[in-house]
Amino acid sequence: CGLTLLGIGALYEKTNKQEYFDYIKESMDYFINDDGTINTYNPTVYNIDHINNGKDCFWLYNKTGEEKYIKAVELLKSQLRTHPRTKSGAYFHKLIYPNQIWLDGLFMGEPFCAQYAKECGHPEEFDDIVNQFVIAERSTYEPRCGLYAHACDESREVFWADKNTGRSLNVWGRSCGWFCMAMVDVLDFIPDDHPGRKTLIDMLNKVLSNVVKYQDESGVWYQVLDNRRSDNYKESTCSCMFAYAMNKGIKYNYIDEATYKPYLEKAVDGIFNEFIRVDGDYAYLKNCCAVAGLGPADNPRRDGSLDYYFSEPVIENDCKGVGPFLFLAAEYIY
């Protein structure tokens, strides 16, 4: 939900419609108390997904100056100071997933960390932020296709992990989408003179150069990127994420416009042709994978197989698709 609020915030920046701002503030104020505590939040669960809403706290603090939002930012940051890490130094995705690096977690944690480092005066943290990407890229890279596995278990012990590499079995579209969005969003805050900036830009070019190879003729991408089994399907959340990342990459000259603009234009057309359903005054984003994960140990169904990825529910207007769609709309149309 926090991701969708950020997408609405992107529209507010372009339109100044008060209803957008009010919706974001009312949604966050339901959880954030005057002392900065957050209803329902428990830092010791050590779930990096919970960090994502810190971006909304920054957004509201910068708009209103209300201290409760920056206090909430500090509370979320306190989780990361003790958040468990793998031996290589990457954050556990969650405490219930020990020794596991998931690409999803880069988007959930690192843009927040980069904004904190810049706006709260902790430039020494940029090295660690870049290192999180370096470790994840190295750990999940799948040489058979040039893309990235959903996750890696450094211990090689969990049931879904390859016993030699630790990687999960398949290349899930949305995990690669999280990876791409994380890079372009972190680059908003990495200083020009920091060596990690070039590292991330080079990494973004490597990822996108392979992502576009798997773009369907329709302009969109599939649930599992490098597979065309009959029950695979065109999936909207990853398609919106890739288009958003390409659009932002072109806008800020991270990637070559002449090379990628044709892929971007094809993607935007494909998103509208394949995924947007209009019914009266309402629009719907179709073909959203509702959820996909790996394990934990007591959930063997989530084994990273093709059968698993094609079995999860497919719904409309999932926040993990609507948020990136709104980001794309705000940046591409305006």
C-alpha torsion sign, points 151, 154, 159, 162: positive
- State the amino acid at position 178 in one-letter form: W
Strand, coil or helix: what is 152?
Answer: strand
CB atoms within 10 A of CB 35: 10
**Angle, in degrees to the nearest 10, between helices 54-64 and 103-119:** 30
Residue recorded with tokens 């529910």: 313
Q: What are the two backbone dihedrals, phi and then psi, of residue 322, each rounded to the nearest 5 degrees?
A: -65, -40
Catalytic residue IDs: 104
CA pair distance 165, 170, nearest whole angstrom = 13
C-alpha torsion sign, points 7, 13, 14, 16: positive
CB atoms within 10 A of CB 161: 24
CA pair distance 58, 47, nearest whole angstrom = 19
Residue recorded with tokens 């909304």: 56
